[in-house]
Structure 1
Amino acid sequence: MGCGSSSGTPALGCSCPTCVSDNPKNRRTRCSAYIRIDELGLLIDTGPDLRQQALREGLTRVDAVLYTHPHADHLNGIDDLRAFCYVKRGPIDLLGNSFTMDNIRARFGYGLMPASPSWDKPVLVPHDVEGPLSFSGLKLTPIPLKHGHWPCSGWRIGDMAWLTDVSDIPEESLALLDGVRLLFLDCLRDTPYFSHLSFAQALDWAARIGAQRTVLIHMTHELEFTALSARCPAGVEVGFDGLQLDFNVNF
């Protein structure tokens, strides 16, 4: 859906080469993903660009949202879930760690109430998730991560893992990534940052995890698509908005 950082690219007021580029792969909305398995539709995060992303990709169904953490660029599009509730005439499950779910309960309580006859608000059901679970017969595994001082969740489904907003991966979480073949990995910029991976750090973690294919996500405008692609080693590539990939859910 999106592979940009909290500011998106182009960044407001910026005229750097990436922001003025005519390469569509340098236009990045806020970081999120949509996972389709048969008729099931799952979102990872609801950033402020959700409506735009959903229209671009033709999305009409969301059964659950897998949240990573409650920063605005990953959460504040939550109200746009009301359109999906309206279409299905049913609630949407929210899955995430207790830190994230408590934040949603405190800030978006109006969306956690029973449906009205007009379905004019989102109808959401939060679930605190601290370990692997089954959703509609699908195994979902949250991956505990460090995002600066915040506890963030990556997500693994089959042989795919989505790790955004990462500054460190605890040793016990690495074991949950054994056998991952498709890895989406945080890569904010070249310069180190306290709550994200730099390009060099992302390459180090990619090598350590050992996925066959690693896609870099959550990038600022400091990273230009073509130039960064030329610096990537074999097995690592630069993500872009609208990228579609297949993975094995039964791994």
Structure 2
Amino acid sequence: MNFLVVIPARAASTRLPGKPLLDLGGLPMVVRTARQAARSQARRVLVATDDPTIQQTVQAHHIECMLTRPDHATGTDRLAEVTRRLRLPDGDIVVNVQGDEPLIEPTLIDAVAQLLARHTEAAMATCAAPIADAEALFNPNVVKVVCGAGARALYFSRAPIPWARDALADGRKCLASGLPAWHHIGLYAYRAGFLRQFPGLPAGQLEQFESLEQLRALEQGHTILVHTVKHPPTPGIDTAEDLERVRKILAQAVTAPPG
């Protein structure tokens, strides 16, 4: 495998100020995420940030870091700058691992990169897990993806899709038996050439209404492949409650007897 992991990290966060540097078991969150990503088969792991303090902290832990422009609207824009500055060949694969995913599974990173490597016609790859209950299906914060033949993403939405007409008649809210409902997991692999082009693509109506950046690629006719897993990975950290949850998981891992 020959791919690069880039971890975008910015200091600004409305719910958790300074999130990348929050302590997790004695390590800053972004450092723990980078170390976890380094357990994958990636040839290189790099943190991309707009904050000099984050850069200094990451480098102090002997992790590569690039200081990027402060005006990027999204992490994808930040990754595009990295690919330009590194002059990566168009066919190189870049995996975007969010800086607030300290428990991400290295094998999941490998699987998404491998999926894209096997299918040269695709511009991107991502992953999804089955939706297990109606609450998740109807939660707009749980992004759904519908897939077609060959693991191709057909659409991403905050709405409950696919819509089980008969099971949901008369306003019922349930998860129909056998419904192929998938929860999209925000881990992406890109071809470097496409990643450089992506910020320049016009944002379409679907992206703007759903507030889902990946719809821009679909609206412009690009192929996104979806790697599916049986069980959802451990969620990332968005809130103070998430932070405490991950701290407890790490503490338990330290105190657990050797197996």
Higher relative contact order (CA 8 A, sep 6+): 2
Higher share in helix: 2
**Higher gyration radius (CA):** 2
Relative to the length of structure 1, the TM-score reads 0.30
Relative to the length of structure 2, the TM-score reads 0.29
